[in-house]
Amino acid sequence: MAKKAGKGGKKDKKDQKGKDKKGKDKKGKDKKGKGIKGKKKVEVKPVVKEEPPPPPTPPPPAPAPVEVKVKIEEPCVFNCAQDKVTYRPNSYPGILLHPKTLAVVGSECGSYDSLCKLLHAGFRCADRVYTMVPWGNYVVFRSQDGDKYLYFVFDGCTCNVNRFRYLDLTCGTASLLYFEELHKAINYIITSRSRREELKNLKRSVVDDVCSEMYGTKHI
């Protein structure tokens, strides 16, 4: 019985040795396999040639300058607005194709009676009267509205007398003073004397002040 046990022990040792060899082979194989797997393949990347960037697009040409033509409005012609003259302070008078008659009167004293007689005489031959008085000149216009007369007075520069013959009051009456009666127009001409003298004195005082500052008290 003891011998059998010994034989069995030898077989067991042989089996263990075989197993160990197999295990070693497996381990070796595993190690080799691991070594093969661990090596990385070097990938060769193809060389790509970079194309040069396209040239920049030229800027669009500047637009040609547009010439703006200024339209010149033609002057108002006769009867451009209406057939009769009314008080229209927001519209300026137009220009007539043919001039109107303009009467000229002058008063040396500038009294109410003198102006009343002269204006009535002037309106007998024309509806526009150039009136001269010692303190200045005025232009008085008259227009008929039914049974009533309307009066307009121009109080300003009257150097160009001929232009008052071409004014068309049917287009507007701006820059003209409106009066319902000739009596009120004459009173305005008389009362405006003091205002004009004040303006003259004011201009003289301003001129004297400027001269005194520039040349002293011995200026001419």
Write the DSSP assignment of 4-65 as a string of letters: HHHHHHHHHHHHHHHHHHHHHHHHHHHHHHHHHHHPPP---PPPPPPPPPPPPPPPPPPPPP
Look up the pTM and report it.
Answer: 0.54
- pLDDT, one tens digit per residue, over 179-213 is 989 999 999 999 988 887 777 676 666 666 666 66
pLDDT tens string 9-62: 445 555 555 555 444 444 444 444 444 455 556 666 676 677 778 888 888 888
139 burial via Cβ count (<10 Å: 0-12, 13-18, 19+): buried
With 50 as the cut, is the pLDDT of residue 124 above it? yes
